[in-house]
Amino acid sequence: MNTAISLLLICFYLFIPALIIYVCYKFPSINKIGAVLLCYIAGITMGNIGILPEQAKSIQDISSNITIILGLPMLLFTINIKTWFRLAGKALLAFTLECIAVVIVVFAGYLLLRHIIPDAWKIAGMLLGVYTGGTPNLAAIKEAFNVDSTTFVIVHTYDTVLSMIYIIFLVTIAQKLFLKFLPPFKVINNEEDKNAKTGEDIRLYGDIFSKNILKNLVIALLLSIAVVAISLGIAGLLPNQYQTMVVILAVTTIAILLSLIPYVHNLKRTFQFGMYLIYIFCTIVGSMVNVDNLIHINIPLLFYVFLAIFGSLLVHGILCKIFSIDTDTYIITSVAGICSPPFVPVVADALHNKYILLSGITTGVIGYAIGNYLGITLGYIFSSI
């Protein structure tokens, strides 16, 4: 593939996610669809209208690896571990129970479907990552396990559809239903209000081209490159079969340690920049998919994703009943794990409870950090069973 076509393809991958962010920023109704899904749609459309040359795969492979590995540290720089440990203990307990519920249900599903779904342990690892963390973890574990792009997008497509049904349930009848079994939320203090507007709010992209913000983003990018370089150096000391896994885990660990440095943690809009790189990744992966492979529904895979979402919601509820977790904390920590921070404000508003915003967002961001550990470690353990 000649240089001109390569540059054109790279420009497309850079421009389309930026355009989607702009459209979501300008039109709240479109933003409800979600930038991630729109990026997949744009990529799939381009990849299936016959304009990509066959040689494009080399650019796609390199670009997808670069974007996910650089984007992950920027997301993790925003974690405030110290603040998290000062939050109410029940939120942490409830999220821990959510993670336990996901592990139990995904493992049960693996035992049930491992002879039906090819490389079921890889699917299990991705589900563990995405339902304790989010899309960045799904993408990272996809890279760690070398999951093919078609399988990855099928899993994410099923996840998107079923997650919408899950959210609709939570914002409509869930609170009334669960109040029959769990205690109501009691207001202790309102210290969480002041920092509620954090995370993946699309409006935070509004000042990203200002001089001060651009300076912060350059610094964050350089730090991210340094994290990746160190991680690659560590992985290079190990056998080839473990290198990708070690890179992902090393990047996660080093980025969390850097987040403890106030200067790094306070670099503005690094989370947004990291998500922009994730959107690029989604566009690239979408363009690598042959839509013919998505026409026929994979029933076992669809059932596994359904079981992971709604089965973990049920088991999580049972565990919260045992530990006397209130209804709203149960619901918001479930959302933080299953759907990640963007959906926390939506559900908190439906629950008419502004006090759980920071708890939900914080546990969701913490999930970004632990999702890789759970998904990769337990995925390999499952594969040995």
CB proximity list for 110: less than 8 A, separation 6 or greater = 120, 121, 124, 382
CB proximity list for 267: less than 8 A, separation 6 or greater = 77, 216, 217, 219, 220
8-state DSSP, 354 = G
Rg of the chain, C-alpha, whole Å:
20
Query: The tokens of 87 are what?
Result: 């939050």
Query: The tokens of 185 are what?
Result: 């939320």
Per-residue pLDDT tens over the stretch 140-160? 898 889 888 888 888 988 887
Distance in angstroms (rounded) separating the CA atoms of residues 146 and 354: 41
Query: The tokens of 165 are what?
Result: 């049904």
Distance in angstroms (rounded) separating the CA atoms of residues 319 and 312: 10
| Local mean pLDDT, 10-residue blocks, the chain (385 residues) | 75 91 88 80 84 78 86 82 64 94 97 93 95 85 87 86 85 91 75 43 78 90 95 87 76 87 89 87 81 76 96 97 94 91 75 76 81 92 90
Per-residue pLDDT tens over the stretch 197-225? 444 567 778 778 888 889 999 999 999 99
Distance in angstroms (rounded) separating the CA atoms of residues 244 and 326: 40
pLDDT value of position 191: 43
- Residue linked to tokens 């503005």: 268
Torsion, Cα of 227, 229, 232, 233 (10° steps): -110
382 phi and psi angles, rounded to 5 deg: -60, -40
Query: From residue 122, how far is each of 71, 118, 329 by CA, in Å?
Result: 22, 9, 31
Q: What is the pTM of this model?
A: 0.70
pLDDT value of position 187: 63
